[in-house]
Amino acid sequence: MIVVVEHLSHSYGPRNALKEISFEVSKGEIFGILGPNGGGKSTLFRILSTLMPPRAGKASIAGFSVLEQPREVRRHIGVVFQTQSLDRWLTVHENLDSQGRLFGLSGSVLQTRIRDAMERLGLADRQNDIVGTLSGGLKRRVEIAKALLHEPDVLLMDEPSTGLDPAVRRELWRYLDDLRRTRQVTILLTTHILEEADLCDRLLLLHEGRVVAEGTPQQLKSRVGGDIVILDVPDPEEMHQRLKETFAVLPQSVNGRLRIEVPDGAFFLNQVLSSFPNKVESIEMHRPTLEDVFLNETGVKLEG
């Protein structure tokens, strides 16, 4: 395993941000940390990127301890932060050149890597553009190019799609998939975007600093099973009790709507409409999503 986290805990004063977190990531995986803002993702990211030490537990990347060998860890990781780390007054090439020199690169080796990174990320015709004039999508590509100059084994990305429109997001993910297939780079990212999480090989669901579930997106969805039915009714409390008594189901109240997990949604809806005519204002039915998994495991919605 190229990333190993064991019983990792961290607190800010009396508030526990991480509580006994453990997981492993294989080489070449795209591994996602999914959870709401404030759930512990950013704290975990800062620890893995050696920006701060954990209060308890341990973590290693490429065999090196994040706590005891941070310099060695930094040689094996590339980091893409959620907030921009580019110098907006320099050109694309100048940003990459200064980053490479921080890692001890120079001369033809550095220029070759800059050229290769720009070509892979579609930046070759933008090398002389001032970064401050670039779109959000292009800036994100420059950030990734910076992170890959020293050829890391692991790419850490904090909310990589923040501020990107859907088309640019899809383009970014095509590149990430190509990166791990052609170069076996391991990608570990944090996200609260469900579409992004669905593209990961495996996911860790994090809530209030604790791991609530882990597995492939499909494995996690199968934990819910069946269909999800959502009802808008005039009196949710009354209907909650009547559904429970009539059909032996356990509705959840979510934002004033009733959410029910059933094996056959169409059959259930037919029964509900027959049993309670004129009591249902609107209906919704869908297969389980990662949002449903999170709600099922925590009792709360996954909100950005």
- The pLDDT of residue 64: 97
Summarize pLDDT for 246-256 with one digit per residue, the tens: 999 999 888 88
CB atoms within 10 A of CB 266: 11
* pTM given for the model: 0.86
Q: Please state, as a whole number, how many other Cβ atoms lie within 10 Å of the Cβ of residue 281.
A: 10
Is the pLDDT score of 138 beyond 50?
yes
Instruction: Name the strands in the sheet holding 154-158, side by side, starting at the edge strand that comes first in the sequence.
Output: 77-80, 154-158, 186-191, 30-34, 202-207, 210-215
**Interatomic CA distance for residues 272 and 246, integer angstroms:** 9
Locate tokens 């670039």: which residue?
134
DSSP codes, 27-71:
TT-EEEEE--TTSSHHHHHHHHTTSS--SEEEEEETTEETTT-HH
Q: What are phi and psi of 295, to 5 degrees?
A: -65, -40
Q: What is the pLDDT of residues 149-161, one digit of tens each?
A: 998 999 999 988 7
pLDDT tens, position by position, 78-88: 999 887 789 99
What confidence tens digit (pLDDT) does each residue in 278-290 have?
889 999 999 999 9
Are 304 and 291 spatial neighbours (Cβ–Cβ below 8 Å)? no
**Model confidence at 187, in pLDDT bands (50, 70, 90)?**
very high
Say if residues 54 and 11 touch (Cβ distance below 8 Å): no
Q: What are phi and psi of 188, to 5 degrees?
A: -120, 120
H/E run at residue 108: helix 107-120
pLDDT of 182 > 90? The answer is no
pLDDT value at position 202?
A: 97
Distance (Å) of CA 128 to CA 92, 93, 125, 157: 6, 6, 8, 26
- Domains of the chain by range and CATH? 3-220 (3.40.50.300), 226-287 (3.30.70.1150)
Give helix 107-120 / helix 136-148 axis angle, nearest 10°: 140
Measured CA to CA, the distance from residue 203 to residue 289 in angstroms comes to 13
Q: Check: CB of residue 92 under 8 Å from CB of residue 128.
A: yes
Per-residue model confidence (pLDDT) at position 303: 64
Tell me the pairing of strands 210-215 and 56-61.
Answer: unpaired
Residue of 194, 216, 186 whose CA lies nearest to 204: 216
Kind of pairing between the strands at 30-34 and 202-207: parallel
Which one-letter DSSP state was computed for residue 195? H
pLDDT at 304 over 70: no
Rounded Cα–Cα distance for residues 214 and 4 (Å): 15
Tokens of 50: 């050696």
Residues 6+ apart with CB under 8 A from 68: none
pLDDT value at 104 more than 70: yes
Please write the tens of the pLDDT for every residue from 17-74.
Answer: 999 999 999 999 999 999 888 889 989 999 999 999 999 999 999 999 999 999 999 9
Computed over every residue of the chain, the mean pLDDT equals 90
Task: Name the pLDDT band for 297 (thresholds 50, 70, 90).
Answer: confident
pLDDT > 90: percent of the chain: 63
Q: Residues 180-194: what's their mean pLDDT?
A: 90
More confident residue, 167 or 57: 57
- Indicate whether 241 pLDDT > 50: yes
Instruction: Evaluate the CA torsion angle 265, 201, 18, 43 in order and state its sign.
Output: negative
What is the DSSP track for 136-156?
A: HHHHHHHHHHHHHTT--SEEE
Who's near 215: CB < 8 A, 6+ residues apart? 202, 203
Whether the pLDDT of residue 141 is over 90: the answer is no
Averaged pLDDT, 211-229: 92
In this prediction, residue 83 carries a pLDDT of 77
pLDDT at 207 over 80: yes
The tokens describing 284, both together, are 């919704």
